[in-house]
Structure 1
Amino acid sequence: MNKILLWSVTAALAGFLFGFDTVVISGADTKLQELWHTSDVFHGSVVMAMALWGTVVGAIFGGIPTNKIGRKKTLIWIGILFLLSAIGSSFANDPWTFAFFRFLGGLGIGASTIAAPAYVSEIAPAKDRGRLVSLYQFNIVLGILMAFLSNYLLRDAGENAWRWMIGIMAFPAFFYTIIVFTIPESPRWLLSKSRITEAKAVLEKVDPTAKIEDLLHEMHLGNDNEDKKGETIFLKKYRFPLLLAFFISLFNQFSGINAFLYYAPRIFAEAGLGESAALMSSVGIGLTNLVFTLIGVFLIDVVGRKVLMYIGSIGYIISLGLVSIAFFLKWEGMQVPVFLFLFIASHAVGQGAVIWVFISEIFPNHLRASGQAFGSSVHWVLAAIIPSMVPFLFSTIGAGAVFLIFAVMMVFQLFFVIFMMPETKGKSLEELQETIFKI
Structure 2
Amino acid sequence: SVRWLVKNKQNAKAEKILTKIGGVDYAKSEIAAIQKTVSKEDVKVRFRDLLEPKIVKVLLLGFFLAILQQWCGMNVTFYYAADIFQAAGYNIQQMMLNIVVIGTIMVLSVALTVVIVDKVGRKKLMLLGTASMAVIYGIIGLLFFNGINGVPIIIFTLLNVAAYSLTLAPIVWVILSEIFPNRIRGAAMSLSAVVLWIGNFSLTFTFPAIKEYLGWANNFWLYGVICLSGFFILYFILPETKNKSLEQIEQELIN
Q: Which bracket does the TM-score occupy, shorter chain normalised?
A: 0.7 to 0.9
Output aligned runs, 1:38-437, within 5 Å: 123=1, 187=4, 191=7, 199-200=8-9, 204=13, 208-210=16-18, 215=31, 217-221=33-37, 230=46, 232-437=49-254
Contact 2:45/2:184 (<8 A) preserved: no
Structure 1 residues 225, 391: closer, same or farther in 2, change over 3 A? closer
More helix by proportion, 1 or 2?
2
Structure 1 residue runs of 5 or longer lacking an equivalent are 1-122, 126-185, 192-198
Structure 1 residues 273, 424: closer, same or farther in 2, change over 3 A? same
Q: Deviations over 1:138-192 (max 9, x none)?
A: xxxxxxxxxxxxxxxxxxxxxxxxxxxxxxxxxxxxxxxxxxxxxxxx728x94x
Aligned AA (1:215): I
Distance in 2 of aligned mates of 1:395 and 1:203: 64
Structure 1 residues 226, 336: closer, same or farther in 2, change over 3 A? closer
Contact 1:272/1:332 (<8 A) preserved: yes
Contact 2:118/2:243 (<8 A) preserved: yes
Distance in 2 of aligned mates of 1:270 and 1:225: 53
Distance in 2 of aligned mates of 1:203 and 1:406: 52
Aligned AA (1:209): I
Structure 2 residue runs of 5 or longer lacking an equivalent are 19-26
Aligned AA (1:261): F
Alpha-carbon shift at residue 289 of structure 1 (Å) = 0.9
Structure 1 residues 226, 412: closer, same or farther in 2, change over 3 A? same
Matched residue of 1:209: which SS? helix
Distance in 2 of aligned mates of 1:200 and 1:227: 17
Q: Which has the higher contact order (CA 8 A, sep 6+)?
A: 2
Alpha-carbon shift at residue 222 of structure 1 (Å) = 8.0
Alpha-carbon shift at residue 306 of structure 1 (Å) = 1.1
Aligned AA (1:251): L
Aligned AA (1:290): V
Q: How many residues align?
A: 246
Aligned AA (2:82): P
Contact 1:216/1:222 (<8 A) preserved: no
Contact 1:320/1:403 (<8 A) preserved: yes
Q: Deviations over 1:234-258 (max 9, x none)?
A: 2111122112101111111111121
Over the residues paired in the alignment, what is the CA RMSD in angstroms?
A: 2.7
Contact 1:315/1:342 (<8 A) preserved: no
Aligned AA (1:232): D
Alpha-carbon shift at residue 203 of structure 1 (Å) = 8.8
Aligned AA (2:17): T
Alpha-carbon shift at residue 359 of structure 1 (Å) = 0.4
Aligned AA (1:263): Y
Structure 1 residues 203, 359: closer, same or farther in 2, change over 3 A? farther
